[in-house]
Amino acid sequence: MASHVHDASGPWGVGLTVAVAVLAAGYARGWAWLSWSSANPIPAWRALSFYAGLGSAWVAVASPIGGGDGRLLTFHMVQHLLLMTIAPPLIFLGEPVIALWQGWAHADDAVSGSFPWPTHQGLGHLAVCWLAATATLVGWHIPAAFTLALNSPAWHAVEQVSFFVSGLLFWWPVVQPWPSRPDPRWSTVLYLFLATLPCDILSGFLVFSDRVAYSVYLSTSSGLAVLDDQQCAGALMWTVVTIVYVVAGTIVSTQLLASPSPRHRLAEVA
C-alpha cells in the first residue's frame, strides 16, 4: 500500500469545506443584493455555474474522490481535471468578483467599474497563462514529483492548490470575467488548441505505454490492474480535455464571427 493515503475528512478537506461554505454564502448574499438593487443583476445561470464550479473543486479535494488517488491513478486524474479544467471556467462564468465583493462589502463602485483591480493585460497574458498551466501539468506528472505528492500530505496540498491556481490563471483570458475587459480574439482559439498538445502527449503516453509510469501504484490493492488503471486515466484525460477545449474554442469562435468587424464599428461611430 502507498505510504500515505489521503484522508478527505482530514484538516485539508475540512478547511476546504469551510472555505467553500464561506464563499457560497458570500456569493449568495451578493447575488441577492444585486438582484434587488442593481439594474444589471447577475443572471441565475451564472450563479448556478459558480456553484457548480465551487462544488467541483470541493469534490476533487474533500469528497471520497479526494482520498482515492492513493489507490488509483484514475482518481488522481479526476482530481486534476476537476481542479484545472472544470471548476475554474465554471467559477469565472459566475462573475465571482462582482458578487463576492458586493456580498462582503456592498460597494457601489464595484458595479460601476471603478473598483480597483488588476485588468487582464497583466494577469491574463496568453503566453504566461499557457506556460503556467503547462509547467504545472508536466511538473506534477514527473514520476518523482508525483510520488512525492502522493506520499506527503503537505506536498499533496501544494499540488492541488497549484492545479487550481494554474487552472484559474489559464481560464482567465478565455472566459474574461469582470474586471477584465472583454476582448475577443482569434489568438484565444489558437491558445486553446496549443493547450491541448501537452495534455495529448501525456494522455497518449499513459494510454499506449506498456510500462507502469508510476511504480507507487504497484503496491496498492485496488482490484484494478495498474496498467488498466493507467490507460483509463489517460483516456479520461484525453476525452475530457478535448471536449472542454473544443466547446470553449467553438464558443469563442462564434462570438468572434458574430461581433461587428472593425470597419463596421468605425462606420457606426461615424
Q: Distance between CA atoms of 161 and 98, rounded to whole angstroms?
A: 23
Which grid cell is 228? 488498466
Domain spans in the chain, listed from the N-terminal domain onward = 11-269
Q: Distance between CA atoms of 198 and 100, rounded to whole angstroms?
A: 34
Q: Under DSSP, is residue 94 helix (H, G, I), strand (E, B) or coil?
A: coil
Is the torsion defined by CA of 19, 22, 28, 33 positive or negative?
negative
* Predicted confidence pLDDT, tens digits, the chain (270 residues): 444 455 555 666 788 889 999 999 999 999 999 888 877 899 999 999 999 999 999 999 988 887 788 889 999 999 999 999 999 999 999 999 999 988 666 544 444 444 444 444 555 589 999 999 999 999 999 999 999 999 998 999 999 999 999 999 999 999 999 887 766 688 999 999 999 999 999 999 999 999 999 998 987 755 578 999 999 999 999 999 999 999 999 999 998 888 765 444 434 333
pLDDT of residue 22: 93
Inter-axis angle of helices 126-140 and 186-208, to 10 degrees? 10
Q: Distance between CA atoms of 71 and 218, rounded to whole angstroms?
A: 10
Contact 82, 56 (CB under 8 A): yes
pLDDT of residue 183: 67
pLDDT of residue 119: 46
